[in-house]
C-alpha cells in the first residue's frame, strides 16, 4: 500500500481550518469500515471466541460441556499430536518451496516474455479453479495410478528407487505415500503462488532491465540485483498464501495419502467429528494458529517487507 501525500492546496477563505476536523468527518473512515468489521466480528471473532472457550471446556455430549479452564488440554494435545504438527509444517514447507520453484519461472515468463499470449496463460493458471478442489485432487489418483504411465516412467528412470530409499514412496507406487500428498498440495496451491508473483513482476519497469544492461550487468546479475528484490513482495505474499492454507489442509492427505501421511488438519477433523472431543479439536486449532502466526511473523521480519503485493 502506498500512501499518496495530499498535494498542498491553499486554503480557500471560509473553508474549515485543517486542524479542527468535524466529528462527523472524522468518523467517515470508520463508517466505511463498518460492514467489513461487522462481517469479521460475526464470522471470525465470534467463532474464534467460541473456539477459545471450547478449548478450555471439559465434558461430554451427554453431560454437556462446561468451561473449567482446563488448560492441560493444550499440553496433552501438543504432546500427543506433535508428529502430525511437524509433518504438516514439513509438507506445507516443501510444497511452498516447490510452488516457488515452479511458479517463479512461469510468472516471469508470463510477465516479461509472453507478449500476446499473456492473458491466455493467465487464464490457464486460473483455469483449474473452475472445477472443485475435490475433483482436482481426485484427478491425481488417476494420474499417479499404480502402473500408470507416470509411475512407469518414474520407475524406469530410477526416480522411484531414490524416493523409495528416502522413504517418500513405497516400492513401485506413488499413491498413498508422502510424495503423492506433497505433489497434490503443490498442485492445488500453485496458482496462489503464481498470481502474486505475476502481479509484482509485471509492475517492474522493463527499462530497469535495459538500464542494468547498459551498466554492463550480466542477465544473472540483473536478476539478482534488480528483478528479484523488486519481486520480493510477490514472493512473500505468494509463499504466505501457499504455506498457510497448505499447513491446515487435510483433503490431500486424506485422498492421496495413507496412515503415515496424516496432517494436523486430519487430526482436527477426526477429533471434532469422529471422537467428538471438541476441546482437543479446538485446542489443536489454536496451537496450529499460533504456530502459523509465529512462523509467518518471523518470516516476514526476516524477509524484511511489509509491502504485501
Partner 1 sequence: MEQYETERLSAAQLAAMRRSLTNGRGALSRRSLLRVSGAGALAVGGAGILSGCGIPPAKRESGAADSDDHSDKEKQLTFSNWTEYMDTSEDGKSRPTLEAFTKRTGIKVKYTEDINDNVEFFGKIQPQLAAGQDTGRDLINVTDWLAARIIRLGWAQKLDPSLLPHAYANLSSQFRTVDWDPGRAYSYPWTGIPCVIAYNAKATRGRKVDSVTQLLDDPSLKGRVGFLTEMRDTVGMTLLDLGKDPGKFTDADYDAAVGRLQKGVDKKQIRRFTGNDYTSDLAKGDIAACLAWAGDVIQLQADNPDIKYAIPAAGYVTATDNLLVPAEARHRKNATRLIDYYYELPVAAQLAAYINYVCPVAGVGAELAKIDPELAKNPLIIPDEAMAAKSHSFRSLSSEEETAYEEKFAKLIGA
The footprint of partner 1 on residues 56-75 (CB under 8 A) is: 56-57, 59-67, 69
CB of 184 to partner 1, least distance (A): 14
Is the distance from CB of 235 to CB of 247 less than 8 angstroms? no
Q: Which residues contact 88 (CB under 8 A, 6 or more apart)?
A: 247, 248, 263, 264, 265, 288
Which DSSP symbol is given to 148? S
Phi-psi region of 17 (alpha: psi -120 to 50; beta: other; left: phi over 0): beta
CB of 91 to partner 1, least distance (A): 13
On the CB side of 55, CA atoms within 13 Å amount to 23
- Of 111 and 282, nearer to partner 1 (C-beta) is 282
CB of 254 to partner 1, least distance (A): 8
| Segment contacting partner 1 by CB under 8 A, of 37-45, 118-126, 215-223, 232-240 | 37-45
| CA 100 – CA 187 distance, rounded (Å) | 12
236 scored as a contact of partner 1 (CB under 8 A): no
**Helix orientation angle between 278-303 and 46-55, rounded to the nearest 10 degrees:** 120
Identify the residue among 262, 282, 286, 287 touching partner 1 (CB under 8 A): 262
- Of 49 and 228, nearer to partner 1 (C-beta) is 49
5 scored as a contact of partner 1 (CB under 8 A): yes
170 scored as a contact of partner 1 (CB under 8 A): yes
- Of 41 and 294, nearer to partner 1 (C-beta) is 41
CB of 116 to partner 1, least distance (A): 35
- Of 18 and 220, nearer to partner 1 (C-beta) is 18
- Of 238 and 257, nearer to partner 1 (C-beta) is 257
DSSP per-residue codes, 201-260: HHTS-HHHHHHHHHTT--HHHHIIIIIHHHTHHHHHHHHHHHHHHHHH--HHHHHH--GG
Helix (H) or strand (E) segment spanning residue 57: strand 57-60
- Of 30 and 216, nearer to partner 1 (C-beta) is 30
- Of 45 and 72, nearer to partner 1 (C-beta) is 45
Give the bridge partners for 202, in sequence order. none
Q: Is 62 helix (H, G, I), strand (E, B) or coil?
A: coil
CB of 97 to partner 1, least distance (A): 24
18 scored as a contact of partner 1 (CB under 8 A): yes
The footprint of partner 1 on residues 172-191 (CB under 8 A) is: 173, 175-176
100 scored as a contact of partner 1 (CB under 8 A): no
CB of 282 to partner 1, least distance (A): 11
| CA 270 – CA 272 distance, rounded (Å) | 5
- Of 10 and 132, nearer to partner 1 (C-beta) is 10
Grid cell of 270 as nine digits:
477426526
307 scored as a contact of partner 1 (CB under 8 A): no
284 scored as a contact of partner 1 (CB under 8 A): no
User: Over the range 210-244, which residues count as b (16 or more CB within 10 Å of their CB) and which as e?
Assistant: eebeeeebeeeebbeebbeeebebbbbbbbbbbbb
| CA 129 – CA 132 distance, rounded (Å) | 7
Number of residues in contact with partner 1, rule: CB under 8 A? 71
Give the bridge partners for 59, in sequence order. 65
15 scored as a contact of partner 1 (CB under 8 A): yes
Amino acid at each position: 500500500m502506498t500512501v499518496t501525500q495530499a498535494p498542498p492546496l491553499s486554503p480557500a477563505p471560509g473553508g474549515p481550518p485543517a486542524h479542527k476536523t468535524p466529528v462527523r468527518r472524522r468518523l467517515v473512515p470508520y463508517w466505511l469500515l463498518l460492514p467489513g468489521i461487522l462481517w469479521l466480528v460475526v464470522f471470525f471473532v465470534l467463532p474464534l471466541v467460541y473456539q477459545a472457550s471450547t478449548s478450555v471446556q471439559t465434558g461430554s455430549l451427554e453431560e454437556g460441556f462446561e468451561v473449567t479452564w482446563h488448560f492441560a488440554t493444550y499440553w496433552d494435545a501438543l504432546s500427543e499430536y506433535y508428529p502430525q504438527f511437524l509433518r504438516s509444517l514439513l509438507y506445507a514447507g516443501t510444497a511452498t518451496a516447490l510452488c516457488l520453484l515452479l511458479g517463479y519461472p512461469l510468472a516471469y515468463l508470463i510477465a516479461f516474455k509472453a507478449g500476446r499470449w499473456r492473458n491466455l496463460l493467465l487464464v490457464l493458471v486460473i483455469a483449474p479453479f473452475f472445477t472443485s478442489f475435490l475433483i482436482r485432487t481426485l484427478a491425481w489418483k488417476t494420474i499417479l495410478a499404480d502402473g500408470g504411465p507416470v509411475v512407469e516412467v518414474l520407475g524406469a528412470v530410477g526416480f522411484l528407487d531414490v524416493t523409495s530409499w528416502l522413504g517418500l514412496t513405497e516400492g513401485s507406487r506413488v499413491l498413498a505415500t508422502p510424495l503423492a500428498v506433497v505433489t497434490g498440495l503443490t498442485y492445488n496451491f500453485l496458482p496462489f503462488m503464481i498470481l502474486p508473483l505475476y502481479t509484482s513482476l509485471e509492475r517492474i519497469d522493463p527499462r530497469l532491465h535495459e538500464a542494468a544492461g547498459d551498466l554492463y550487468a550480466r542477465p544473472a546479475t540483473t536478476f539478482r540485483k534488480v528483478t528479484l528484490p523488486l519481486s520480493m513482495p510477490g514472493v512473500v505474499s505468494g509463499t504466505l498464501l501457499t504455506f498457510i492454507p497448505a499447513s491446515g489442509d487435510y483433503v490431500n492427505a486424506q485422498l492421496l495419502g495413507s496412515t503415515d501421511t496424516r496432517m494436523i488438519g486430519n487430526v482436527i477433523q477426526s477429533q471434532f467429528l469422529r471422537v467428538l472431543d471438541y476441546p482437543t479439536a479446538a485446542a489443536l486449532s489454536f496451537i496450529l494458529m499460533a504456530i502459523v502466526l509465529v512462523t509467518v511473523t518471523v518470516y516476514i521480519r526476516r524477509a524484511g517487507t511489509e509491502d504485501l503485493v
